[in-house]
Structure 1
């Protein structure tokens, strides 16, 4: 199964939330109809009582997933769904576009290379290509990691909107007892240099050394980060080293494809 695909119902043995599945089936009706729908039309398509459907519609309107035309009592997809769809498309596109770059890049420099995207729970590995070295760093797609203790995480902390990441940043400052001024200075340097580093081991984080660079979309927003991951002595993380310059160049190439 592709790492970016969700498991189908038949492939999952876990008990789900029926109301969520019903809600999704209602939204699918709008996708298939490609037009506004009334409660009566939804009731026919879903073979579901109107009063039950109406409760879902009220909630969808409250969160912006649907909008209502009060003149003809029809409903259509709202701005929240459009925004979610655009984000999902951007994340899918960057992983799809970056995958061949990651494979080529890993072979070229013989380092393990990772691509991370942002999820609701923070940064997450979307693609990973191992090097050919005898001792490997093992990371699975879907792996999540801290913001301030990893090179990838620092990229997101530096370039994503403050309102989006600041609560997580502050939580890690408190949890890891970090100096807030030092953290802010490092994030500013990352913004200026477009590269972040980790050169010490940290519990639970694969490898002891990593360097990352951001990837942007056509709007200028950061959508992913590209990273070299390895052990001490393998990667030269000095700012002007070949490893760092090639990483930044590769991240820029992927950005150009997205813009």
Structure 2
């Protein structure tokens, strides 16, 4: 009886779902479309599509260009999209995804954002197997020596990144994950030009990796999440023993991280950034 009740609760209005395919097609193609092309993309005949478009036009969900006759998304669709973006929390969306990823890969998965001191971990999903790395929420990652840091360095504005690079070089170190007290810190970065070459490699592969850069025997890979403006908002990072974490660019860990980051980006209505000229 309860299953029957749940089916009734989930029952929608079929005509709304059918008409929604037209809105989905417009959103997917991203540009105004002629009636016949729009109807074909939605899997229906033009005669069937036209009444839906009339109703959507009255609501402001679509509008028709009077000169070309093409249909595009209307002002109400724009308002709904902007409100959805304002209500979207990247960390909230990503958190359940990294929990599943940590279990599947058997690695610790973290989410880092760009904070006032640089890349900062705000969520950590521990590996099923214990990894003795002293990390917690609020840990600030090294810009130059960590996978998350290099990833943000590759996609944040160059002047902002260079300022943090110089600060880190002066201080010699930031708060970093350690195996135990007294673990030697990674070598200090040498020059901006050398670091920029490393960032170019990150952009070429679309993700970053480190192998024992901060602590011996610990590797990491990180993939970016972008918002609707093409700005990087999150780094999804896998951390684990070097012997268990395959850091090949086309390996299973890299593929799983990319897929996870891409799903979060899609949920945010995001897109990869347009390439920009980096500071010399």
Superposed pair shares fold, TM > 0.5: yes
Q: Following superposition of structure 1 onto structure 2, how do residues 162-181 of structure 1 map, counting pairs within 5 Å?
A: 162-173=158-169, 175=172, 176-181=188-193
How far apart are 1:198 and its partner, in Å?
A: 0.8
Partner of 2:90: 94
Partner of 1:128: 124
How far apart are 1:180 and its partner, in Å?
A: 3.1
- Which of these residues, 195, 214, 219, is aligned with residue 183 of structure 1? 195
Q: Following superposition of structure 1 onto structure 2, how do residues 31-110 of structure 1 map, counting pairs within 5 Å?
A: 93-110=89-106
Unmatched 5+ residue regions in structure 2? 1-85, 173-187, 270-280
Structure index of larger Rg: 2
Unmatched 5+ residue regions in structure 1? 1-88
2:265 matches 1:255: yes
Aligned-CA RMSD value = 2.2
2:249 matches 1:239: yes
How far apart are 1:254 and its partner, in Å?
A: 0.6
How far apart are 1:103 and its partner, in Å?
A: 0.6
How far apart are 1:194 and its partner, in Å?
A: 1.1
How far apart are 1:201 and its partner, in Å?
A: 4.1
- Cα separation, 1, equivalents of 2:159 and 2:194: 20
How far apart are 1:139 and its partner, in Å?
A: 2.0
- Which of these residues, 220, 227, 233, is aligned with residue 217 of structure 1? 227
CA deviation profile, 1:23-63 (whole Å, cap 9, x unmatched): xxxxxxxxxxxxxxxxxxxxxxxxxxxxxxxxxxxxxxxxx
Structure 1 contact 147–169 (Cα < 8 Å) conserved: yes
**SS of the residue 1:239 aligns to:** coil
- Cα separation, 1, equivalents of 2:196 and 2:236: 22
Compute the TM-score of the two structures, normalised by the length of structure 2.
0.56
Compute the TM-score of the two structures, normalised by the length of structure 1.
0.60
- Cα separation, 1, equivalents of 2:134 and 2:169: 27
Structure 1 contact 114–227 (Cα < 8 Å) conserved: yes
Between 1:127-136 and 1:95-104, the stretch displaced more is 127-136
